[in-house]
């Protein structure tokens, strides 16, 4: 029988514990698919006394993840600690430095330090695998790096954060406001005590940066991703979106243009007929567009112990079988130097909601400003009349440039009749 592949897991939280559980529960199946037994032989975590609901008998324990990474008895390091820096990064760098394969679910570390880590992995001929870093159990990385490898990818778009998708889905279904639904999501365990990384779009933007690097063969560039979260989405906007035939989703979009690569994460209004509009609750979805394959969409659970462990173990099986590719699909020397395209260059349609004093001439003033900036209106909704009081006015536009829209909004916000900051959402035909 072939020698077992020895796994060391750094971090025994949801992800690490789920990986240990899966490797034990499906050991025979995994051994058959890996071509050899796969066994966890050592772990590293901070608190030895904590009851994790797992059997840790017979496993060697390390207090220091870097010491685990350097241990010669470990064939593969699974990093399940999290965080862009600190011991997680140190352990990964230590393993790669000695040529040891690494499997990680750490999207923050890859988004910020992915280019350097990929360079180290390539220099040491050490596999760096991260299927679990994006969209949990959805094989988004394998789809780009393997299944769609023959295609020029033109666009990647997806719902990449289950917390935000749950909140927006519940707001629409129940007509409730953001703060109330967020509090409920925290009680249910769908949102962290400090939900900022999720609701401000940062977690999803980390994943988008990784997908963009893979899709377009360029170094990871998180700093160039435009990021907006969902704090500003109101129940009123969701209701108006329904009336107009749209759904509001937090979506990441990375696309190649003649000017370079654009990557942006923000709330989007998508037509209700679009498949991605119906991805609800905590589910994620990723859509790819390739020159020969056309459009492909994958949907599934984007987080949790089971889905994330599934992706980690898939990478371990690839390592056992020797199925290894460069971390970002091509050798470092072949990565593209295409420039990043700013959000101001976007061309698309927009939804605007204005809270205005209901008096004659207001709409004419708004229309004149939009005309001055070459923004053409497609539709307008106004609900209710209350002379001298605030009413919502909703406008949708034809395709225009974001820079022009931003300039127009700045002038509209300064009108005396506009009593709150305008709400603007981008419309995308996904």
Of 317, 350, 336, nearest to 423 (Cα)? 350
Domain extent, residue 373, equals: 346-427
Strands 38-44 and 5-10, by their bridges, are: parallel
Q: Are residues 125 and 9 in the same domain?
A: yes
Q: Are residues 278 and 355 in the same domain?
A: no
Cα separation, 181 vs 174, whole angstroms: 10
Confidence at residue 1, expressed as pLDDT on a 0 to 100 scale: 61
pTM: 0.94
Q: Are residues 286 and 234 in the same domain?
A: yes
In-domain check, residue 278: yes
Q: Where does a domain end: 107, 133, 159? A: 133
Q: Are residues 161 and 48 in the same domain?
A: no
Cα separation, 91 vs 120, whole angstroms: 13
Confidence at residue 332, expressed as pLDDT on a 0 to 100 scale: 87
Q: Where does a domain end: 299, 332, 366? A: 299
Q: Are residues 108 and 80 in the same domain?
A: yes
Can you give the CATH number for the domain in which 409 is found?
A: 3.30.70.260
In-domain check, residue 317: no
In-domain check, residue 321: no
Cα separation, 226 vs 165, whole angstroms: 19
pLDDT tens digits, one per residue of 93-132: 999 999 999 999 999 999 999 999 999 999 999 999 999 9
Q: Are residues 160 and 285 in the same domain?
A: yes
Q: Residue-wise pLDDT tens for the chain (430 aa)?
A: 678 999 999 999 999 999 999 999 999 999 999 999 999 999 998 877 777 777 788 899 999 999 999 999 999 999 999 999 999 999 999 999 999 999 999 999 999 999 999 999 999 999 999 999 999 899 999 999 999 999 999 999 999 999 999 999 999 999 999 999 999 999 988 888 899 999 999 999 999 999 999 999 999 999 999 999 999 999 999 999 999 999 999 999 999 999 999 999 999 999 999 999 999 999 999 999 999 999 999 999 988 899 999 999 999 999 999 998 999 999 888 888 899 999 999 999 999 999 999 888 899 999 999 999 999 999 998 876 666 678 899 999 999 999 999 999 999 999 999 999 999 999 999 8
Cα separation, 171 vs 74, whole angstroms: 47
Q: Are residues 60 and 104 in the same domain?
A: yes
What is the Cβ-side half-sphere exposure of residue 279, based on CA atoms within 13 angstroms? 29
Q: Are 193 and 177 in contact (CB under 8 A)?
A: no
In-domain check, residue 339: no
In-domain check, residue 324: no
Can you give the CATH number for the domain in which 169 is found?
A: 3.30.360.10
Confidence at residue 46, expressed as pLDDT on a 0 to 100 scale: 85
Q: Are 107 and 134 in contact (CB under 8 A)?
A: yes
Q: Are residues 262 and 399 in the same domain?
A: no
Confidence at residue 306, expressed as pLDDT on a 0 to 100 scale: 93
Confidence at residue 155, expressed as pLDDT on a 0 to 100 scale: 97
Number of separate domains in the chain: 3
Q: Are residues 162 and 290 in the same domain?
A: yes
In-domain check, residue 338: no
Can you give the CATH number for the domain in which 69 is found?
A: 3.40.50.720
Of 156, 132, 133, 131, nearest to 141 (Cα)? 131
pLDDT tens digits, one per residue of 92-104: 999 999 999 999 9
In-domain check, residue 34: yes
Q: Are residues 157 and 293 in the same domain?
A: yes
Cα separation, 194 vs 319, whole angstroms: 36
Q: Where does a domain end: 101, 133, 165? A: 133
Q: Are residues 128 and 182 in the same domain?
A: no
> Which residues 6+ apart lie within 8 Å of 332 measured at CB?
118, 119, 122, 326
Q: Which residues are catalytic?
A: 207
In-domain check, residue 310: no
């Amino acid at each position: 029988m072939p020698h077992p592949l020895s796994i060391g897991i750094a971090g025994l939280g949801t992800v690490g514990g789920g990986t240990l559980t899966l490797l034990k529960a499906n050991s025979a199946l995994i051994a058959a698919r890996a071509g050899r037994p796969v066994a966890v032989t050592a772990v590293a975590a901070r608190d030895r006394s904590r009851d994790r609901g797992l059997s840790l008998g017979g496993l060697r324990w390390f207090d220091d993840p870097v010491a685990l990474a350097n241990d010669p008895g470990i064939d593969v390091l699974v990093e399940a600690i999290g965080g862009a820096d600190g011991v997680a990064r140190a352990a990964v760098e230590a393993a790669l430095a000695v040529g040891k394969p690494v499997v990680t679910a750490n999207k923050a570390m890859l988004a910020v330090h992915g280019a350097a880590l990929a360079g180290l992995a390539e220099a040491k001929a050490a596999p760096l695998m991260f299927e679990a870093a994006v969209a949990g159990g959805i094989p988004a990385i394998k789809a780009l790096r393997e299944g769609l490898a023959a295609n020029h990818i033109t666009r990647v778009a997806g719902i990449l954060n289950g917390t935000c998708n749950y909140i927006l889905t519940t707001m629409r279904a129940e007509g409730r406001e953001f703060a109330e639904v967020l509090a409920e999501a925290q009680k249910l365990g769908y949102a962290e005590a400090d939900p900022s990384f999720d609701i401000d779009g940062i977690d999803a933007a980390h994943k988008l940066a990784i997908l963009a690097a893979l899709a377009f063969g360029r170094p990871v560039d998180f700093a160039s991703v435009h990021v907006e979260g969902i704090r500003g989405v109101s129940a009123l906007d969701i209701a108006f979106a329904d009336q107009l035939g749209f759904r509001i989703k937090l979506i990441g979009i990375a696309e190649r243009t003649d000017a370079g690569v654009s990557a942006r994460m923000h709330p989007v209004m998508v037509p209700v007929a679009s498949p991605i509009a119906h991805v609800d609750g905590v589910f994620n979805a990723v859509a790819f567009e390739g020159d020969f394959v056309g459009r492909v969409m994958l949907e599934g659970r984007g987080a949790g112990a089971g889905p994330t462990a599934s992706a980690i173990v898939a990478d371990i099986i690839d390592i056992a079988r020797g199925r290894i590719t460069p971390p970002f699909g091509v050798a470092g020397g072949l990565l593209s130097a295409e420039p990043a395209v700013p959000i101001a260059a976007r061309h698309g349609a927009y939804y605007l909601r204005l809270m205005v004093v209901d008096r004659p001439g207001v709409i004419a003033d708004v229309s004149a400003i939009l005309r001055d900036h070459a923004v053409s209106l497609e539709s307008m909704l106004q609900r209710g009349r209350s002379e001298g009081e605030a009413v919502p006015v909703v406008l949708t536009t034809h395709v225009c440039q974001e820079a022009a829209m931003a300039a127009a909004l700045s002038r509209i916000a300064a009108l005396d009749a506009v009593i709150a900051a305008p709400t603007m959402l981008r419309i995308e035909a996904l």
